[in-house]
Amino acid sequence: MTDTDDRLVFLDEEESAAGSGQTIAMLPPWRVLIVDDDADVHETTTFALRDITILNRPIEFLHAYSGAEALEKLRADDDIAVMLLDVVMETPDAGLQIIRVVRTELKLVNLRIVLRTGQPGQAPEMDAISSFDINDYKTKNELTRNKLFTTLTAALRSYDQLKRLDASRLGLEKIIAASNEFITKPGLKSFAEGVITQIAGLLGVTPEGLVCASRIPSDSPEHAAEQLKVIAAAGKYCHFIDQDLNRISAPEISAALTTSLTEHRSQWGSNNVTLYFESREGHKYAAFIDSSKAIAAVDQHLLEVFCTNIALCANNIELVSALREQAFFDRLVRLPNRVAMLRELDNALGGPDCGHQGLAIIDVDQFSSINDIFGHHYGDSLLRAIAERLRAFFPHCFIARVAGDVFGILGRRESLTPEAIHRVFAAPFSIDRVEHPLSTSIGVVHLGDVQGDGSDGIQNAYIALKRAKSSGMGQSAYYSEAIANETRARSRMLSDLQRALLSGDQLFTVFQPQYCLGSGSLTGFETLVRWRLPDGQFVPPSDFIPIAEHSSLIVNLGEWVLRNALEAINHLHRNGHAGLTVAVNVSTVQLRQPNFLAVLDQALTDSGVDPTYLELEITESAAALGLDQVAGLVRSIRSRGIAVAIDDFGTGFSSLSYLDRLAVDRLKIDRAFVCTLDDGSSGRVTEMIVPLGKHLGMKVLAEGVETRAQLARLRALGCDEIQGYLIARPMPLPELEQWLLTDADDVLKRAEPA
Ligand code: C2E
Ligand code: CA
Ligand code: CA
């Protein structure tokens, strides 16, 4: 150690101090705490370092003469940079005790510590130095100005770096907090607004700026020009929102944003910053923020980190936005979906224009058979074509696909008339160069008639649609309170019927005799179901059967009737009435069940009835299953020995060729035609049906025969069998048994005296 050394150092330091004289005045001094029980050491140290500046800042000394005093000082002041600490004071390890408290209790992790001992022998062990983060270790005879200066400079530099790290750690924490904010903000726009406020917050300025996004429109080809659009703006830039970037009236800002977006980098201006970030999906964003000053390097670094972070947020936001879009959008037909319609309806119902708006629900008739026959691909194309045409015909309406083949239109009520909607479907749709005519059923509700929210609106429209469908294809209906009441009554009836079927004491079966005209003898019975309410009132089957069919409750009800019928005929056979048959009505809904034959077989097995005594009455509506299907089913039924009759013949839409292929045992002429056989009526249909059935090798049974005149005409026409009030009403089994004993033999003779 020489004086020359010391001078050299001073020269350096004085030069640098002079060079930035103004700065020195502005910066606060470093605070250095001297801890030593020897007053001389305090004096020597302050003297050695008098008037010194380190890293452009002066030094302020604090003094403590015991360990306790040192800790008191450290507790009171959290910006002490360096402690020059005597190891041996009150106790041989007093210094180390202080360090333990400083690091573990006071948690002053940035404080730099320089240990000083009287003799080298008093030096603490190496591991104490490293575990307590001690900066330096000196003996007291090294207290020269030069040595002190070097030691202190190193310690202060280290302290300064630690403080900066702290600051940037704080900045990072702010960024993380800011990013967390985004997660709760739905949608890209509020995300972008958040970006502006958070950057401004990090810079400590008021939010003035805009965010621009570049995206390739999703439905145009890859090479399409990118759109640069302002997606969020704050402060004085607010009016730029949603504008094209190259249209905004601030060329420097537009240029800065464009540069960032095309060169993929952030830019640092003298009083602004343009940050660039990019989401994983390749969407690019640039945010321009007024910073009111140039941004320091450390802050630039922070903002870059922030950009990485918000890029991650952007990923999530985009993902969520895409999911949201999916939640509201039907990609197949490129229309809003049911949820979107509900949301739109909710708004419309709360809006001032509500009374002038209407909702139409359009159902494509027989769409499922189109799908079955032509395939799903064809069906999809058809749906897309319908969507397109609806958009073209109702450009000012909100159009959605609310279910598979059901569309909804929300708009001015005067434009949503059934006539206007039917016009959309007047011309056939051309799919794969094939013309496809379509018919639709339409339900309309005026929003003024809707009590409640969007889902009530849709429900009302569906009630009207259901009404329309009940009168056949291509029909329409408006929602009304009366229709709604009826619908409610129907659903009440359904649940009552459900209960009745479960409890089993309100439902029972009756049996109506059938006679052969040729032999004049009783052949069997038709089974008919009855529903008597607890108050004794009867609900007619024509009321509850269709409701049961609509809900498929008919499946259970039908099986229950079948088992009843088999039990009854079993009972009759065992009680002296061998040879009689029993007919059971089977709904098309039952035939459609995949396990129909299994259920039938099981019922026969369980009852032990010979299948040849059972007849199933199906109606022409079974044709809806498809000819091959019905024909196959009829073959399967008949192969078991069970007879098949076509009920209500002539009221449906079956064609002659259909009848030809079906090969059933019996045709039942509907009562409506039998009625017309009375004197004065023409009875033409019956006249045709009888020879037709005979020609096809079937028996013909006339039902609902009420008069002798009808009976006479039927006999003359060659009709095989009859059933009707003229002969007998449907009766419960006990009454029927009595009737078999007293009346069965001669009712026919009494009905047609020779
Ligand atoms: P349907 O199969 O055509 O049954 C004949 C209907 O005509 C029965 O009415 C019967 O009581 C009635 N009828 C019989 N003779 C005469 C007559 O001389 N004059 C008049 N005016 N009517 C007569 P019901 O019992 O009210 O049944 C009505 C319809 O309900 C049945 O028509 C059938 O389609 C359905 N149905 C009844 N029971 C069942 C059942 O167990 N299953 C199914 N799927 N449908 C049933
Ligand atoms: Ca019948
Ligand atoms: Ca009938």
pLDDT at 14: 37
Cβ(47) – ligand 1 distance below 6 Å? no
Ligand 1 pocket check for 540: Cβ under 6 Å: yes
3-state secondary structure of 524: strand
Q: What is the pLDDT of residues 200-225, one digit of tens each?
A: 877 777 888 888 887 654 444 444 45
The pLDDT assigned to 231 comes to 83
Report the pLDDT averaged over residues 530-552.
Answer: 92
Q: Is 649 within 8 Å of 668 (Cβ atoms)? A: yes
- Is ligand 1 within 6 A of the CB of residue 541? yes
Bridge-based pairing of strands 357-364 and 406-412 is antiparallel
Residue 647 Cα to ligand 3 midpoint, Å, equals 5
pLDDT in tens, 436-481: 999 999 999 999 999 999 999 999 999 999 999 888 889 999 999 9
Predicted confidence at residue 184, as pLDDT, reads 53
Interacting residues of 581 by C-beta distance below 8 A, sequence separation 6+: 523, 524, 525, 569, 613, 614, 615, 643
Task: Give the range with max mean pLDDT: 115-119, 141-145, 385-389.
Answer: 385-389
Cβ neighbours of residue 727 closer than 8 Å, sequence gap 6 or more? 513, 515, 705, 747, 748, 751
Domain 336-479 falls in which CATH fold?
Answer: Alpha-Beta Plaits (3.30.70)
Dist. CA 532 → ligand 2 center (Å): 20
Compute the average pLDDT of residues 14-21: 38
Q: By the 8 A CB rule, do 702 and 687 touch?
A: no
Tell whether the model's pLDDT for residue 16 goes beyond 80: no
What is the 700 CA–ligand 3 centroid distance (Å)? 12
Residues 702-741 pLDDT 10s: 999 999 999 999 999 999 999 999 999 999 999 999 999 9
Residue positions counted in the chain: 754
In the CATH hierarchy, which fold is given to the domain comprising 3-165? Answer: Rossmann fold (3.40.50)
State if residue 388 touches ligand 1 by the CB under 6 angstroms criterion. no
- 179-328 and 507-670+700-706+720-749 have identical folds: no
CB 668 within 8 A of CB 617: yes
440 vs 473: CA distance, rounded Å? 7
> Counting ligands in written order, which one lies closest to the CA of residue 668?
3
Distance 528 CA to ligand 1 centre (A): 6
Burial 116-141 (b: 16+ CB within 10 A, else e): bbeeeebebeeebbeebebbbbbbbe
CA 55 centroid distance within chain: 62
Question: At residue 589, does pLDDT exceed 80?
Answer: yes
What is the distance between the alpha carbons of residues 458 and 455, in angstroms, rounded to a whole number?
Answer: 5
Distance 546 CA to ligand 3 centre (A): 14
Residue ranges of domains in the chain: 3-165, 179-328, 336-479, 507-670+700-706+720-749
Distance CA 420, CA 642 (A): 51
Ligand nearest to the CA of 559: 1
pLDDT band at 598 (very low <50, low <70, confident <90, very high): very high
**Mean pLDDT over the full length of the chain:** 85
Strands 398-403 and 357-364: unpaired
Residue 472 is predicted with a pLDDT of: 82
Q: Is 746 exposed, middle or buried (0-12, 13-18, 19+ CB in 10 A)?
A: exposed
CA of 585 from ligand 3 middle (Å) equals 9
| Interval 158-165 mean pLDDT | 80
* Per-residue model confidence as pLDDT tens digits over 541-550: 999 998 999 8
Please tell me the predicted confidence (pLDDT) of residue 186: 57
Contact between 209 and 200 under an 8 Å Cβ cutoff? The reply is yes
Mutate to test the pocket of ligand 1, among 582, 585, 677, 723 (most ligand atoms within 8 A of CB): 585
CA separation for the pair 69, 91 (Å, rounded): 14
| Superfamily per CATH, domain 507-670+700-706+720-749 | EAL domain (3.20.20.450)
Number of C-beta neighbours around residue 385 at 10 A:
16
Which pLDDT belongs to residue 321? 67
Cβ neighbors of 128 (< 8 A, separation 6 or more) are 96, 134
Q: Are 700 and 666 in contact (CB under 8 A)?
A: yes
Compute the CA torsion angle 391, 393, 394, 400 (nearest 10 deg).
Answer: -40
Which residue stretches of 64-144 are H helix? 67-76, 94-100, 126-131
Class of 179-328 per CATH? alpha beta
- Which ligand does the CA of 617 lie closest to? 2
Residue ranges with CB less than 5 Å from ion ligand 3: 647-648
Tokens 């809707």 belong to which residue?
A: 450
**Atom 37 of ligand 1: nearest residue by CA position:** 528
Could you list the beta-strand ranges (E) of 620-729: 643-649, 666-669, 699-703, 721-723
Measured from the alpha carbon of residue 545, the closest ligand is: 1
In this predicted model, what pLDDT tens digit does every residue of 301-332 receive, in sequence order? Answer: 778 877 877 777 777 766 766 766 777 888 89
